[in-house]
Amino acid sequence: MVTSLPGHGVAAAALILLRGSDHPRFSQSEEVFARLFAARAGAALSAASLYSEQSAITQTLMRELLPPRLRRLNGVEFAGGYRPAEVGERVGGDFYDVHPGPSAGDASLVILGDVCGKGLDAAVLTGKIRSTLQALTPMVDDHEQILKLLNRSLLTSHHARFATMVLASVQRADNEVRLCLTSAGHPTPLVVRLDGSVEEVPTRGTLIGALPAIECRSVRTVLQPGETCLLYTDGFTEARGGPLGNELFGEERLKRALSECADLPAEAVVERIQMLAATWLHDGSHDDMALVAISAPRTTHLSAVDGHTRGRYTI
């Protein structure tokens, strides 16, 4: 007896039953039972196939939404960290990217941002913003124009969400790292100097995706070897925890933590800040949390060649 296993428009398989010669025929009740079993088995197989296909699609899309792993690039140290708001989630509304310039002598574009909301809806808009910013990378020296074009793009989309972000153009010059920073409604970038002092970079601007016109102010600064610029989202400063469980981590506590990171490499700075925030939170709820550290490494003069560099340079 051959019975098809129904699927989504196409049979999922076939059920073939054989009997010995002593009982050559199937009874009517056996045939009914076989058809019921085949229907349930076909539904299970179709559901498993559909789930496997959806899982593969989800994994492909997830790889595009996950924050990248940062490393040293063109003589500058980069490190990033991300902690989503929801347990079990891998993506959310905070994001960061580093887009290298076409050569070692060109500036790289660093972006760190925060989309209103959290979860999958925020992650979808995050993906759109990241794609748009990647297309605008050739305009790395004109932050205002990048933000204006991005703002126009968000206003014409069906999303009703806004975003804050900070842009940083990063370029190595001898032993120094030169930065141009522009905030769009985002928390102020911080710089820790070699003596442990922490400075606020006084850039400011309006958030993106809410108003027809935006304003922004870019600020330039220089990092000496061993100094670090920290970009972060408000998930850190607004994290509630501490001894009483409801106290904000706050900007001053973040500055004190950063002051202790003087002369540390970028990766160590990120790990230190994340550890302190996690300890502060305990198991409490929190918003998405993302940060990027940009460091001017301690230098030695070596002759080296990488994918973007030819000849002698300082690393």
> What is the chain's percent helix, strand, coil content, to nearest 5?
30, 30, 40
Residue 192 has pLDDT above 70, yes or no: yes
For 46-80, write each residue's pLDDT tens digit. Answer: 888 888 777 676 666 666 677 788 989 999 999 99
For 295-306, write each residue's pLDDT tens digit. Answer: 999 865 443 434
Task: For the chain, give every domain's residue range.
Answer: 2-62, 66-314
Start-end of H helices in the chain: 28-65, 120-135, 143-155, 234-237, 250-259, 266-281
Count of other CB atoms within 10 angstroms of residue 259? 15
Higher-scoring residue by pLDDT: 119, 95: 95
CB 129 within 8 A of CB 163: yes
For 204-232, write each residue's pLDDT tens digit. Answer: 999 999 889 999 999 999 999 999 999 99
What is the DSSP secondary structure assignment for residue 69, as one 8-state letter? Answer: P
Task: Grade residue 147 by pLDDT with cuts at 50, 70 and 90.
Answer: very high
Residue 307 has pLDDT above 60, yes or no: no
The domain defined by 66-314 folds into: Phosphatase 2c; domain 1 (3.60.40)
Give the residue-averaged pLDDT of 104-126: 84
> Mean pLDDT over all residues of the chain?
85
Distance CA 138, CA 102 (A): 9
pLDDT recorded at residue 306: 43
Task: Grade residue 142 by pLDDT with cuts at 50, 70 and 90.
Answer: very high
Give the residue-averaged pLDDT of 242-252: 88
Give which of 163, 210, 155 is closest to 183, Cα–Cα. 163
Task: Grade residue 21 by pLDDT with cuts at 50, 70 and 90.
Answer: confident
Residue holding tokens 């972000």? 165
pLDDT recorded at residue 64: 67
- For 59-115, give the DSSP string: HHHHHHHSPPPP--BTTBEEEEEEE-SSTT----SEEEEEE--SSTTSPEEEEEEEE
Residue 271 has pLDDT above 50, yes or no: yes
In the structure encoding, which two tokens stand for residue 123, read together? 């992650």
pLDDT recorded at residue 314: 30
Higher-scoring residue by pLDDT: 234, 86: 234
Q: Which phi and psi angles does 272 have, rounded to 5°?
A: -65, -50
Q: Which phi and psi angles does 243 have, rounded to 5°?
A: -60, -40
Residue 30 has pLDDT above 90, yes or no: no
pLDDT recorded at residue 304: 40
Count of other CB atoms within 10 angstroms of residue 191? 20
